[in-house]
Structure 1
């Protein structure tokens, strides 16, 4: 007798929100860019902050802060489209909310959850890091930020799918549920770079920081380098503006 699992076993409820999300983002038209960021000044700033105040800022916090300020200067990139190909509608937002993807355990199963860091165009590093730390250290089965996900898991498949799609297609709700841009990081593992569509017009992919050869003043030296990617929705902006956004985020990180 085979010990193989029965074919067609029901999908775990804890993965429903991920499948609903992947269904919604089929409407996106993603294009992918990437660059390398010299993280010398970020690492120096982080070391100084940890030594003086005992706070260790994550790479994600620096990217959120930099991207929030850059996108505030690019309102066309801080926007969202809805309505399909026949009657598309676009919304431009006067604030910048960053979504961060998190690797958490919910109801005994490892899942991806997202948290919204509000107003990152104005927020400073301590506030951004405090938000991420609270979500990272809190219990996802109790945190109010994840009540919507827990409710989807409790609902029936059809009811949950309908509710998710309704919220995702609302241009008014989207920046509060999904952010106006997203950051996802796999830099804690041996991942140099990757591209991800986060359900927002721009999504930054953060790999690991690794010592690499770079050229400074005509000389080859070793520096800590981050490979930073950007996926952008071509329905909303074109490549030239996306390239501007990625370049300005790179420059902001290199001038911390």
Structure 2
């Protein structure tokens, strides 16, 4: 499912991804059923997490290959916008070839694919620590490309996809005007939450982003 979000004028102080991470963490803190993970097929188990840990993705080059890297920002339900932006900037502006945070990713990339894939699955398999190692929700953005909407499955119960911001015609109070709008896509694991809960989370996220009241 997706929502169209009216873009707010951030004056480039904070990125859209930062607003989405900040707001999604607070919405999910109010929906613990969605801030969770599942493991197992025949006898599935669901774990709910007290902290909203946001995974976000980065388009990077490592060992001469263009890859998508991800990192987890913990306890975002308590973090300020400025704190989240500092973390986002740290990962966006640093070199993944030398960052200690990506040492495991560099090791996995050097391993043969079957072995690297096995080690990754073993690392994120335990439910007790999956929220910390893999995040409890994911945010991925293609806003820097000519992409309006896309639907990504990030391995978490909920994945939010951020599209580009463009001027579009909208109707407000029976009048037509032009406004900057953004498509926000929302994919979810139906084994963990149903469509009604997912719709509630997306609706609250849209409302919170458009009527942001926070620690700017």
Structure 1 counterpart of 2:99, from 137, 143, 158? 143
Deviation at residue 162 of structure 1 after TM alignment:
2.2
Give ranges in structure 1 of 5+ residues lacking alignment: 1-32, 51-55
- State the match for 1:197 in structure 2: 153
Report the count of equivalent residues: 212
Partner of 2:139: 183
Give the Cα separation in 1 of the matches to 2:179 and 2:208. 17
SS at structure 2 position matched to 1:213: strand
Say whether residues 1:66 and 2:23 are aligned partners.
yes
Deviations 1:149-171 (A, max 9, x none): 11112334443232111122211
Correspondence list, 1:156-167, <5 A: 156-167=112-123
- Equivalent residue for 1:207? 163
TM-score normalised per structure 2: 0.95
- What does residue 184 of structure 2 align with? 228
Which one of 71, 81, 92 corresponds to residue 38 of structure 2? Answer: 81
Q: Is the 8 A contact 1:80 1:180 kept in 2?
A: yes
8 Å CA contact 1:167–1:173 kept in 2: the answer is: no
SS in 1 for 2:52: coil
Q: Does the 8 Å CA contact 1:83/1:169 hold for their aligned counterparts?
A: no
C-alpha contact (below 8 Å) 1:103/1:111 kept by paired residues: yes
Corresponding residue number in structure 1 for 2:198: 242
- Partners of 1:226 and 1:36 lie apart in 2 by 6
1:91 equivalent to 2:47? Answer yes
CA RMSD of aligned residues (A): 1.2
Rg larger in 1 or in 2? 1
